[in-house]
Structure 1
Amino acid sequence: MSTRLSARLSRLLNMVPYFVANPGISAAEAAADLGVTTKQLMADLNQLWMCGLPGYGPGDLIDLSFSEESVQVTFTAGIERPLRLTSIEATAVLVALRSIVDLPGMVDPTAAHSAIAKLESAISGAAPARVSGAGPAGGPPMEAPAVTTVRSAVAARRALRLEYYSASRDVVSNRVVDPIRIVAVDDNSYLQAWCRQAEGVRLFRFDRIESAEELDEPARPPREARDTEAGLDLFQDDPAVPLARLLIAADHGWVLDQYPMHRVAVHADGSIEATMRFATLDWMARLALGFGSGVTVLGPPELVAAVRDRSDAALAAYLAAELDAPA
């Protein structure tokens, strides 16, 4: 409750300078700019109408002329400029922006880099530096088209058609999803959405979205999908999908950060026992062999056998090549 009241107070204090700078703007346009519904904006304006200078007589209160078609401030009661951040607040915002600006989909990179430059200038007292990066003409890094499309669909609450690469299944699939929100988990950004194909909440990692198309239909995730955080479990257990049991060497702990694995136990020597769902035996065997001695397959038996057969075949081919090589 206190968080909502604090957010509303901050919005109310900044609304007067906003409407002074945008005289006659419609309630719908203002609501979109301020990130609220038109109904909430009208409630805020009615509240603002009763605020003002100490004394709080008719001549001290903020005066407004407003309807859904037009909003006009006729008396500001001295609130003519937006609130200014303290140096501590500005530094906190700057740190937060820097932490998410390189995560795809979290923010508009152009706006974020511009804000960073302005905050750095305000904190240091120097003139704003030109934003540099990997984009054209020294601008901020360009955003991938698929990322821009997903951000747009989330903001507009539109359904999406995705072409998505699933690392655990080693396949690219096409699916229609209803976006819920964008989240950051362990230094990666994800689209949380209701997948119509799976009939459940799923997380789609941005760097694995190969293409995205915003559809001309509203997103309609079920209410329970919006209200629960269960979808934040990145890799929901599906008993229909085989489960590999792996023993990961202590110096290969990074594997858990790169693949959808669940830690089961940590042994005295630092090795880690983990599980991982996989779609095909062939793909999982190839993945496990790619780690060499860093990962040992413990189960299921058919996966252990597949890894052993591939290892034996590779060793036989190597020995045959050695025998055929000239002395």
Structure 2
Amino acid sequence: MQLDEEGTAEGAPQTAAAEDGVVRALSLANALLNRPGGLTREQIFDKIELYRARRDERDRLVGSQRQRADDALEKLFGHDKEHLRSCGIKLLEPTAEDDYRYRISRTQYGLPDLSLTSQERSALYRAQLQFARNTIAGLQHAVWAIDPEYDDAAGSPAAPRVVQSSIGSDTEVAHLLDISRIGLRAAITFRYTGRGRRQAETRRVVPLGMGVRGHWYLLAHDLDRDAQRTFRLDRVSGTISTLPAASLSEPESVTLKQITRGGRYAALDVAAEVDRNVAGFTEHDAVEGALRVHQDEAPGTLPKLTRGTSRRRRDDASTKTERVINMIALLLTRGGIRPSELLEKYSLTPDQLLRDLLSISLVTTDQYPDTLDVTPFPPLNDEQFITEYLTADQPIELRASGGAMDRPVSLTKPGAMSLLIALKSLIELCPPGDEHIAAAAESLQRKVMAIVPEPIAHAAESMSLAPQAAHRAVLRAAQQASSAGHAVELAYTDISGRSSTRVVEPVQVVHDGPHTYMRAWCRRAQGERFFRLDRIADLKPLPHDPQGERSAALSLSDSSGPQVPVTADSVSVVLRFSPSAAGQAFLYHPVKQHTEKVTGARTILTSFVTKEAVIGTCLRAGGDVEVIRPVELREEVAERALELLGQQQK
């Protein structure tokens, strides 16, 4: 145990502390790994401080109070054991044959060697590169856990013109992971705000599959409607939880058994069903929805808009334990890992990294060989940790007397899902000439599915990451031009509705949130440009017009992705996103925002490149996005909607 007397500057209050549940679980694992003969329950309580303190407090009580304290201690111990088992650690319950000792076998601890081939290793790093600009949670750690000898600090193999991806918002991926943990074809419940709804309602469903077509969609059997339904995950709010069997009616229980046993939805084509649902909302529906919300007067007052910060959902104790036990393995194996690298590898906020480091520092039984020493020891104040510790970014070393926890124990559940998404993306979005990478990704995918929790493997297997059907021909042509190194001629309509024809040199396909772009060198603009696939009316390959040096250089350079340019024509607007569309607000780069507590609707202050861009966005949103200020622009959206509806009726 590290007791740091200089960890916080004089006068700086302590604002951070280790998390007891994580410390207990890790101390339990460390103690048992260092003692092949095992420990009895009382020996564990005696050696691990956080148990010992509770046991001693229990021993001072008598009668029913002592019994309640003993029950609480046993319940706590049970939770900690389950947290370790959820990480994939085989903690054996004691029996009379082994003197009632708990054991963790060193030989069964950690991930198995997947014996990667050179082709599978190339696919692994291509998957990592694909998400290099917008890393999905846990992917960096998963790559290291699969191949611990790979040093990403030295740089990964070059992969020019690799697809760059960012599939889904943090909220969507968190919901995706929640469903995956519970498992497909199990009854779940959540709050959902459908299109046009003002408030969320409770839905009870049986998940059948998931797919991404810009947004993540859940295909499920709706128990209350006894029919198949599709749900957009950014419209789900609150907790996704398992439905107790006792809460189901007899017909619902029969339906669940039919689905679980494969007698119903056995031949379900997830990709086709997601395509059909995405295409179901027509242009006429969208314009009618826009008119409905814009024809009333704008609100007289605005809610108080503040500068928003991205908020990550707090992990539960099991997730934290899994992450920290893998972080220990990384620090023991590599040594000298900078805080900035840990923030990236585990997709952490600074305050969570501080608490993880403090939890590691308290993993002990006060006896050799169980101590772990973190150097440099972090301060106990959040602000000081950010301004001093993170700014210095001095490599962190972890010294262990026993070294029992020096192997990655799992991919972590977010890491497993992230890696499987990345591999599936390589397979389904494979550009011409990279078929060998797709084949290696399929082989690696099978190996990974064999070592991850079964519900996550089943969920990943059910996913469809293919592009929208309407965009596939354009995407394929863009990929072929990029691979072959020739130009293309585009008929393109920008966000403001301005049409143009131009010759460009494609260098990458970029999946950014709900949109897919072609990154290219534009000869007309003489610079880098991003063209949204759904705005390309026509793409004509120019096989005899080779790309030049500027596009070749562009293909090897990093990019910050599609950006909203600020020009003299830029328009500042206040938009309200309906409760069902609140999750999309982050795509519009809000300067300030406000979220309604009751409905979840979100109001933001942002800017658009032109007035026409604002009008077009609202008309396509189907009533999910409305202009609040300026009032004149709101009225113009309503007038344009009326005009379009009149034209459609002719």
The higher-RCO structure (CA 8 Å, 6+ apart) is 2
Per the normalisation by structure 1, the TM-score is 0.48
Per the normalisation by structure 2, the TM-score is 0.27
Q: Would you tell me which structure has more strand in proportion to its own residues? A: 1
